[in-house]
Amino acid sequence: MTVYLDTSNLVKLYVDEPDADDVQHIVAEADVVATSVLAYAEARAAFARKRREKLMTPAEGRAAVRQLDADWPRFFVILLGDELGQAAGRLADVHGIRGCDAVHVAAFESLLTQCEDEDVRFSCADDRLSRAARALG
């Protein structure tokens, strides 16, 4: 199985949040864990926000970044280029989703075309984004 993690669920690998155990379980079961290059910046921004809001200590924030950096080379990272950016624009329009969310759905769509005959799943904490990904097949 291949699982695509959007940032909301990628962060759950490093921060104790609701449903973190479920995300960790699906990642443990996956043969391949994929995400967009955008997820790295978004995850780092989420860690920084949690530190600013005192939801994470500075030490917890540093540990989360270290672990993300250690894990990052093991992810199948989908790069953002012109074709993916245009697909994201189309998907944002069709599904009424935000730009960065559309990048994740476009990255998932790209992954689906690369893994035609495989079990590919989209893992996300946002219902609208999950619906958009399900509409792809």
2-134 CATH pick, 2.60.120.560, 3.40.50.1010, 2.60.40.2550, 3.50.50.60? 3.40.50.1010
pLDDT at 117: 72
Q: How far apart are CA 11 and CA 127, in angstroms?
A: 17
Other CB atoms within a 10 A radius of the CB of residue 73 amount to 7
Mean pLDDT value across residues 87-109: 96
Share the mean pLDDT of the chain: 95
The model's pTM? 0.94
Q: How far apart are CA 20 and CA 11, in angstroms?
A: 9
Mean pLDDT value across residues 2-21: 96
Mean pLDDT value across residues 18-39: 97
